[in-house]
């Protein structure tokens, strides 16, 4: 795998038991694409398209049924690379009896960071996300927006080379969204890689370089956003939302 590639999916398939003997449901079928280092890359598709399964495979939360996946230059079976990955999920399940500082300490330790570095970076990140005065408060008292800000800090604790953002603006207020977009642009500036899974297409258009589109577990498009938004027949530009609707309708016909 090239050193300029941060993520590579090569002919990846995955299926699950369908509920009765001998039957399986295909979640992914022969998916192949790569994400270059330094890209802000979008993963798009309707519900049940296979996006979550693909992200789980990338994060070693499940294994592909077939195909090959590489993460930061190594096969996903090499779990040491997970210490260089940050992940922000749309629905957090943080222990509510912990406080914010304890949570960041835990995730920093999971990423094999030295204790002093964890302490210093935790303080820095809590200030950045506006929770410096709430670091010792139980997470149970946090609002949805505060938990999402804490989730952003958690995803950044190890200064990741690959940042995976799964519907990250869910529950964030305007200030929190601005902080998130600052993070995306800073990651780009530093040559780090961002994978953004989002249904908020305006944000995708604003921040992403390229996109992969899944539909019914199959890859139906990959490339720069303007290859989606420019009408091939007329040459006129259209919104990403309209482009995706046109693509889904064409494939369903």
Domains present along the chain, CATH in parentheses: 5-252 (3.40.50.300)
Give the residue-averaged pLDDT of 146-166.
96
Residue 3 has pLDDT above 70, yes or no: no
Give the residue-averaged pLDDT of 197-213.
94
- Reported as a pLDDT band with limits 50, 70 and 90, residue 102 is very high
Name the pairing type of β-strands 85-88 and 162-166.
parallel
What tokens does 250 get? 């064409």
Residue 11 has pLDDT above 60, yes or no: yes
Give tens-digit pLDDT for 23-69: 889 999 999 999 999 999 999 999 999 999 999 999 999 999 999 99
Calculate the average pLDDT of the chain: 93
The DSSP-derived string for 107-171 is: HHHHTT--HHHHHHHHHHHHHHTT-GGGTTSBGGG--HHHHHHHHHHHHHTT--SEEEEESTTTT
* Virtual torsion, Cα 54, 58, 59, 64, nearest 10 deg: 70
Give tens-digit pLDDT for 217-248: 999 999 999 998 887 777 788 899 999 999 99
Using alpha carbons, list the distances in angstroms from residue 50 to 90, 168, 181, 230. Answer: 16, 18, 25, 25
* Virtual torsion, Cα 102, 124, 79, 2, nearest 10 deg: 170
Residue 2 has pLDDT above 50, yes or no: no
């Amino acid at each position: 795998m090239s050193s300029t590639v941060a993520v590579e999916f090569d002919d990846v398939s995955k299926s699950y038991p369908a509920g009765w003997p001998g039957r399986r449901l295909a979640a992914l079928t022969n998916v192949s694409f790569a994400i270059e280092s330094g890209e802000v890359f979008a993963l798009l598709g309707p519900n049940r398209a296979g996006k979550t399964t693909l992200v789980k495979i990338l994060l070693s939360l499940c294994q592909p049924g077939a195909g090959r996946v590489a993460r930061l230059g190594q096969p996903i079976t090499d779990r040491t690379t997970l210490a260089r990955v940050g992940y922000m999920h749309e629905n957090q399940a943080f222990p509510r009896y912990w406080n914010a500082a304890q949570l960041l300490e835990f995730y920093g330790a999971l990423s094999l960071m030295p204790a002093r570095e964890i302490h210093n970076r935790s303080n820095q990140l809590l200030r950045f996300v506006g929770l410096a005065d709430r670091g010792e408060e139980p997470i149970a008292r946090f609002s949805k927006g505060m938990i999402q800000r804490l989730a952003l800090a958690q995803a950044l604790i190890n200064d990741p080379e690959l940042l995976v953002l799964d519907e990250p603006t869910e529950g964030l207020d305007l200030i929190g969204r601005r902080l998130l977009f600052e993070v995306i642009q800073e990651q780009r500036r530093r040559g780090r890689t961002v994978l953004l899974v989002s249904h908020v297409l305006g944000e995708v258009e604003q921040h992403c370089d390229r996109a992969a589109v899944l539909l019914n577990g199959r890859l139906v498009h990959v490339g720069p956003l303007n290859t989606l938004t420019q009408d091939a027949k007329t040459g006129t530009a259209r919104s990403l939302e309209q482009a995706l609707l046109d693509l889904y309708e064409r494939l369903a016909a």
